[in-house]
Amino acid sequence: MTRTLKGVVLGMAGLLFALPHISTAAVSSPRAEAALQEKVRHELVMLPYLSIFDHLTFNVDNGHVTLMGEVSRPILKSDAEGVVRNIEGVTGITNQIKVLPLSSFDNDIRWRVARAVYGYGPLQRYAMGARPPIHIIVDNGNVKLEGVVANETDKNLAYLRANGVFGVFNVQNNLRIDG
């Protein structure tokens, strides 16, 4: 090979090795990372079977998305991974979503806690809207409250209402206060 041809071949080889690093660097900019987080959040919120009995969270690190949370229907775990996989800029997915046990006992508790929380006068305003902010996660009789409320009083009221439901063994209050 001539000296010029060797230079062209080496230059192209160097470019091929650099391309994966160039595309990764583009995703890691703060603006691109924030845009990717918003796309992931939007796709997860738009899942058709997502309800107040499911709680999904995620983490985006340099284009790699880690899905976390608990779902009451097994199909939601695979659906969440599927919609995130189709987002431009996602370089990989780790699916750590836990599928809650399929139990009529837990389903009964879910509905009774929902009625106790959302049916209580001071908390009824949270039931309005397409996606109520208080999520009720039931795992073998143990309840976790996830989501966002307006103030500490609402957080405590939701806990007390859930804790008063017959059949509930334990209530973990993970509600956050907005703002």
In which residue ranges of the chain is CATH 3.30.1340.30 found? Answer: 3-99, 104-177
pLDDT mean over 139-161:
97
Q: Give residues with Cβ within 8 angstroms of 71, minimum separation 6.
A: 54, 55, 56, 77, 80, 97, 98, 99, 100
Mean pLDDT in the chain?
87
Residue 5's pLDDT band (cuts 50, 70, 90): very low
- Model confidence pLDDT, tens digit, residues 25-57: 444 688 888 999 999 999 999 999 999 999 999
Q: Following DSSP, what letter does each residue of 142-178 receive, concatenated? A: EEEEEEEESSHHHHHHHHHHHHTSTT--EEEEEEEE-
Q: Are strands 142-149 and 170-177 parallel, antiparallel or unpaired?
A: parallel
pLDDT mean over 1-29:
45
3-state secondary structure of 71: strand
- Model confidence pLDDT, tens digit, residues 78-109: 999 999 999 999 999 999 999 999 999 999 99
Looking at CATH, the fold of the domain delimited by 3-99 is given as Histidine-containing Protein; Chain: A; (3.30.1340)
Q: Are strands 98-99 and 64-71 parallel, antiparallel or unpaired?
A: parallel
Which among 46, 37, 23 has a CA at the least distance from the CA of 66?
37
Please provide the CATH number assigned to the domain covering 104-177.
3.30.1340.30
Q: Following DSSP, what letter does each residue of 37-48 receive, concatenated? A: HHHHHHHHHT-T
- What's the confidence (pLDDT) of residue 10? 43
